[in-house]
Every structure is written in structure tokens, then in C-alpha cells.
Structure 1
């Protein structure tokens, strides 16, 4: 016997059987049923994993990469929202960002359809137990409808948001914050009986720290006189000593809220660029008077038509107000100024109000101690509450209604490019208390105000607020 004959022959192991997920041939119905449910669950939870495990690996890897990038983007945006909210909010607050979002979700809808139909093929329904076939197919159909429908709805919402933002925030002037703050003029106006056009009843400036979101509100009475216009104002030539000095003006009442009416109706040519800047001549003139009075630059303005503001409040889902004084809804007053014939009251305490009730709260003229100054303060309180309660979830879920109501109620020159910064500041401000300074009696005598003292108060308040 030779040496080679005594040596045992090497055994070659049989080829390993492929995974049942990728090669289920010959598997019994019970195993195929479990396999089908696994693929369905994986498809729903981690899109692309079913293809990577049991089908086209290239398609699966591509889908997994897209899903992973999307998940990272969402987590990153969520993290940034608590640190720098203006960064994630800048995407859904401008036309370019919304167009990108619309394109991305539509592309995902197409990919989801492809993955779901491919998963339906991979589960091999004929090999699944008869009692489970309907369930497997039903889950995939529901996943297809919900996933595709959700993506399409998101694309429609993005389009509606783009249109709403375009109609409301169409300003083109971009101004940098002054001293780290954006100063925005807020005008609440009514076109009341006997008036020629709209006249602002509520005039205030909200100063927002561009980084921290801290807000300071300065309220000015509508009957303020002798307002000095800012340097460079076209109105400065006509009123070098202040508007209403020695009762000099071009309308019947020479007060702060008359500036809007005078310029809007009688001298709009002083502001030829107002229309191009998406504002109004009356607003520009009022802005320059407030700048001169407070001693701070004002970058933007918002005019709210109080007659339509109630619809905007309803579109936002209402507003929560801490009522300090019992106020009547309707009714009249007797010879002593006491309310009569009142059937419904706005009681003291924290209340969530709809648009109609909020308007009564802001405009009610009756009640003990309910002066014009108190009413102006309530209007500013309502404006502040709306700013604090505005949040991305509300905006996104009620966007179409807000856009329609906002177009009728609001005129502003704030550009879309600034919305992300302002929205981020508003989010940060929600946990902070707004400082409010009312330049009304006894702090200020509207008929003969000390503007040097007013400017000093403004400068000191802003310096302390940071």
C-alpha cells in the first residue's frame, strides 16, 4: 500500500443555503407567512430594509440612505429648534425653502409607491397562508395610501404656505437690527363711522432682541401732540416744530393718529416709494414721527385692521388673555357713566377667547375706570398675546385659514427673508415676560409731552433689557 493511498480524501462542505428571506423556495406556508409579516413591518418602520434583505439591494440601500438622511435632518432640526430656532424656522418661512420642501416630499411619495409595490411582490402572497393574505395585503395598501397621501398633503400645504407668505410678506427692504434689536411699529386701526379712511387707535413699538427674543413694548397714546419727525422725513419741512405745534396740521385734529390720515388722504406724493416697498404713505409718515418721538430707528411696520382682526384670531384658534377688569359686551351707560343693559360680561381671570370676544375685550368703551388709555393698553395686550402664542405647529396646521384672514387684516413691509429670525425670536420670547412702558398719563402729558424724557426712558429701558 502506497503512502498516498493511506491518506484520507478531504471532505468538501455542501454549499450553504441562502436566507429564507432572499430564497424562500420550498419553504412551507407557515414560514412564508412569518416572512411576509417581517417584510411588511420592516418596510413600514424602516423603508428600504425589505429590499435590502429580500430584494434589489441597490434599491434598498438607496432608500435606506434617503430615509437615514431624512431622519438625521428631522433630529437636527428638532435639536436646533431648542437652541437656534431661527435656523430650522427659516426653511418653512420663505418661498425658496417651501419649494424645496414641496419637491422633496413629492419625490419621497414616488419612492414610497415604488417601495410599497415592490414589497408586495417580495412577500409572495400566493405562498402565504390563505387566512393571512388579506391582512398582509391590507396593511400594505393602507401604508401606501397613508404614506402617499401624507406626502401629497404636505406638498399641498407647502404650496399654500408659499402663496400665503407671498401675499402677506412681500416686502423687499432688508434692514439690520439696530443695537441688536428689531424695532417694529404696530398700528391697530379702525375705519369708524364719520371717519375719512382708517385711523390708528393703537400705536406701539415692539422691540425684539434678535438673539434672545426678549421683547420690550412701548405704547404711545393716539392723542399725543407736537411729535418731532425723524431727520430726513419729508414731513419735517412742513412741521419743523413738530406735528400739531400751535394746532397746525392739514386735518381737523392735530394728533399722532391723524398723521396717517393726513398723509394717506392729502399728501401721499411725499412717499413715492411706499407702494414699491409694500407699505403705505400714512404708515411711513407715522413711523417717522414715532422714530423722532422715541429716539430709536424703526425697521418695519405692521398695520392691523381691527375690523378684520377677529377673523385672524379665529384662524389661529383663539387667544388667551389674563383679564384684569370686568368688561361689558354691548349695552350702554347711564348719566353717571355706569354700564346699563349689559347681558354678557367678560369676567376677570385667564380666559381663552375667540375672535369676537377678543375684539370686545380690546374695544369695549364702557365700564368703571375704562378710559381710552385703558382700551389702548388692552389692544396692545392683545397684540402681545398673539405674538407670544404664535407657534410653528399652529401656523402649519391652520396655514390656509391664517393666510386668508391675514391678507385682509394685516399690511406689513416685513420681508420673507426676515421671518425665520423673527419667528425664532418669538419662540424664545414665549418663556419671557415682556416689558411694557406706556407713555400715557401720569407718566406723560399728551398735550405737552417732554420728548427728551421719553427718549431717555426708552434708552434706559432698552439698555437694562439687553
Structure 2
């Protein structure tokens, strides 16, 4: 019995053990050779491409191949265990139980791997737009992504885009600059002939009950199909907002990524919380029932939501800074181990929280681009007072500041310092404030 048990266990680890033990040397040698070939083949395939393994999990064609391969290997492995049992001691109940346990031990991790491929494919299919035939980033030196934080509330209809930031990414080296627009910009110039005809003097809102702010443009487009003809529900808002924000900044906005703020809390919980540096204590909640102490804190989903949302003892502009620090912290803390062990929950939360028009085949180049961005500081410019008055925005100044920020730095000469060589545009003073050029901030320094 002991010999039969050890041979069965050995066969589960080294294929062909039972065949060698029972004199079936040719079959044993073939099974051992197959196992060695599979092990070496996988190692030779995975090791050189380990840095690109993440890209495989976002490509349906590779996921299908991987899923099929896992199923085949699992079936062969289970067959080897069962056949080994039959050769050494058929019919013994103890060995039957052992075979069942061994087959389950082999099947469980393989089944989990198959489940991960299914979840990954569902995530790509449900969140991202239909893949295109060409590389969306091919031959493009700069990609501009509109990052939207959308907030719906029970006391108001529709969605308000209370957070709007364009991430301008240099595809050659991964350097990134964030341009943030406050939600309460007024008289925003409209980008298309149809929308300009509706608001020739800038966006005025949708009737007496709306103040006519930038964060209303999304819902206004959704409520007026004639403004963005031929575009489906749920896509008119992002399309017009992309063009509107692009017109303000003087940039072509290529794609958008929108995060529902309520779903954002679920996403933070799915990754196990987010560590941020809270510069001063925050009180939150409708009746100030919540508290986030100052200092280095790991925030739950609810706390992270309020950290980015609350205006208690602060204002919209403090909130904008906290939101960017929150996103920066999440991006810095998303390690492969967390993504793998919590992938099921993360993918499920992301499907409910995220929408985008990025095509599915943009994910591999986007992952490669994120590797270039890793370790590089992210610059940030906020178009807020005193640089920009939200009631009377200086649109030319905004565009000039974007051009200045993205321009390649000039080589300084011995006679002229870099600061003197390129004068910064200044803003009209607002509410007694002195004009400021608002040089780009470093998120690493600002957010700690």
C-alpha cells in the first residue's frame, strides 16, 4: 500500500513514474519527455517575454490560446494520475480518495487560471470600444486622454463631470503633463457649428435652472441628440466634452476615460485601499460624521471617495488637487501582485465604474507606454484663480500656457538664463490677487 501511494504521488509530480515502476518503460519515457518538453517550452516562451506578459492578458486571441492550452494540460495531467493509479493498485478505496485529491489539486489552480482569462476577456469586451485594424498609437508623438470624474446625485438629474483633466503623454519617452479645468468655468466656447449656433456667446446652460458651467456640457449633449447627430446615447456627452475641452486647451483630445465616483470607491476597496499623504485633517459626510486624520493614511473606498469629493473647510481647487493626488497614488501602488491576487474583484469593480472610447487593441501599446511612464515625475497645471478667472476666463492665456508647458525646453546660453529667455504669460488679477504664471507642479513633490 505504501509503495502504491508513493508511486501515485510521484506520478502526479513526475509523469511516467508508475509506468517505469511497472515495466512500461517506453510509455514512461514518452510521458516524461512530454512533461519536460512542456516545462522547458513554457519557460523558454515566458521568460524572455515576461516583461510583456501583461499585454497577453488584454488580447482576446492570446487569451483563447492560453485558455485552450490550460484545459489540455489539465486534462492530460489528470489522465496521467488516473492511469498511474490503475497500474499500481486498482480498486483500493484509499488510493481512489488519493487520486481524487490529486486531481482536484491539479485542477484548482488551472481552473482559476482559466477563470482569470475569462474575466480579463469580459473586462476588455465590456469596457473598451471595438478594436480597430491599426495601432491607435502608431506614429503618434503625443496622446491626449481626457480623464473624467462623473458624479450623479439624487437631488439632480443626469451626470455632472465635476473632474476634468487632460493627460498629455509623450509616446516617445512617457513624460506626462496633466492639465486640469475647474468644473465652474463659465461661457465656455462651443466647438462645433451646431453647438456654436445654440450658444454663440459661449455655453449658457440648459434653461433657467442651470448656471451654464463646464460640468453641464456632458449632460446637455446627452439631452439634445440634435447637437451631436448620429451619435448614440451615452456617447454624445463624452464626444462633445472631448471637443469642448480640446478647444479650450488648444489640444486634440484623442480618447476619454470616465470614472463614476460611486464606483471609484468600490474600485479602491477592490485593490485593498490606497495610501495617501493627508496634509490636514478632513471632515466629511452630510453631517460631518466622518474623519480622515492628517498624515500618511491607507484610505478605504468610502474615505477615498470623500477625500476626493469633500469641500468642507476647503474649495473646488483644493478638491481638484486631492483628486489628482488620489489618482497618482493609485497608479504608483498598482503592483502586479495585487492585480493578480485581486484581479477578479478589480475587474468587476472597473466594469461598473469605468467607461471609455479607447479601442480594445489600444491596451497593449498603452501598457508599453505605461512602462515608459513608470518612475517619471508627472507635471500638473491647474487653470484656476488667480491664474484664470472662472467667471471671465482668458481662453488665449490657457492655450498659451499649454503651448509653453509642452514646448521643448530651449537650450540656455551663457548670457541669458532659461527663465529670462522664455517669459511666462501672466493672468489678469482676480479679486485683488497678483498675476501669476502658475508653473507646472510636480505631483511627486505635491502629493508626497
- Which bracket does the TM-score occupy, shorter chain normalised? 0.7 to 0.9
Task: Name the SS of the counterpart of 1:186 in structure 2.
Answer: strand
- Residue correspondence of structure 1 range 147-162 to structure 2 within 5 A: 147-162=106-121
Partner residue in 2 for 1:339: none
TM-score w.r.t. structure 2 length?
A: 0.78
Distance 2:362 2:168 in 1: 15
Change (3 A) 1:108 1:350: same
Q: How many residues align?
A: 401
Partner residue in 2 for 1:264: 222
Partner residue in 2 for 1:23: none
Higher RCO (C-alpha under 8 Å, 6+ residues apart): 1
Match of 1:166 among 119, 122, 125: 125
Match of 1:99 among 64, 82, 86: 64
Instruction: Say whether residues 1:88 and 2:43 are aligned partners.
Output: no
Which structure 2 residue ranges, 5 or more long, are not aligned? 410-448
Match of 1:349 among 278, 295, 318: 295
Query: Is the CA contact 1:279–1:411 (under 8 Å) kept in the aligned structure 2?
Result: no
Distance 2:172 2:300 in 1: 32
Distance 1:152 1:248 in 2: 53
RMSD: 3.4
Partner residue in 2 for 1:77: 49
Distance 1:248 1:383 in 2: 30
Distance 2:276 2:115 in 1: 33
Query: Is the CA contact 2:150–2:160 (under 8 Å) kept in the aligned structure 1?
Result: yes
Query: Is the CA contact 2:85–2:99 (under 8 Å) kept in the aligned structure 1?
Result: yes
Distance 2:168 2:39 in 1: 42
Measured after TM superposition, the shift of residue 395 of structure 1 is: 3.4
Query: Is the CA contact 2:267–2:346 (under 8 Å) kept in the aligned structure 1?
Result: yes
Change (3 A) 1:255 1:71: same
| Partner deviation per Cα, 1:211-256 (whole Å, 9 max, x = no partner) | 54433211110111343444x5642444455x23xx5865622221
Change (3 A) 1:249 1:141: closer
Measured after TM superposition, the shift of residue 281 of structure 1 is: 0.8
Partner residue in 2 for 1:309: 264
Partner residue in 2 for 1:12: none
Measured after TM superposition, the shift of residue 199 of structure 1 is: 0.9
Change (3 A) 1:349 1:416: same
Change (3 A) 1:54 1:168: same
Distance 1:461 1:304 in 2: 26
TM-score w.r.t. structure 1 length?
A: 0.75
Instruction: Say whether residues 1:299 and 2:254 are aligned partners.
Output: yes
Instruction: Say whether residues 1:216 and 2:177 are aligned partners.
Output: yes
| Partner deviation per Cα, 1:19-40 (whole Å, 9 max, x = no partner) | xxxxxxxxxx9xx96x996995
- Residue correspondence of structure 1 range 263-412 to structure 2 within 5 A: 263-265=221-223, 267-275=224-232, 280-330=235-285, 342=288, 344-367=290-313, 370-412=314-356
Change (3 A) 1:194 1:120: closer
Compare CA radii of gyration and give the structure with the larger one.
1
Partner residue in 2 for 1:204: 165
- Name the stretch that deviates more: 188-197 or 100-109: 188-197
Instruction: Say whether residues 1:184 and 2:130 are aligned partners.
Output: no
Query: Is the CA contact 1:190–1:200 (under 8 Å) kept in the aligned structure 2?
Result: yes
| Partner deviation per Cα, 1:158-207 (whole Å, 9 max, x = no partner) | 11222232222234567436852321111112222542211111111122
Measured after TM superposition, the shift of residue 356 of structure 1 is: 0.6
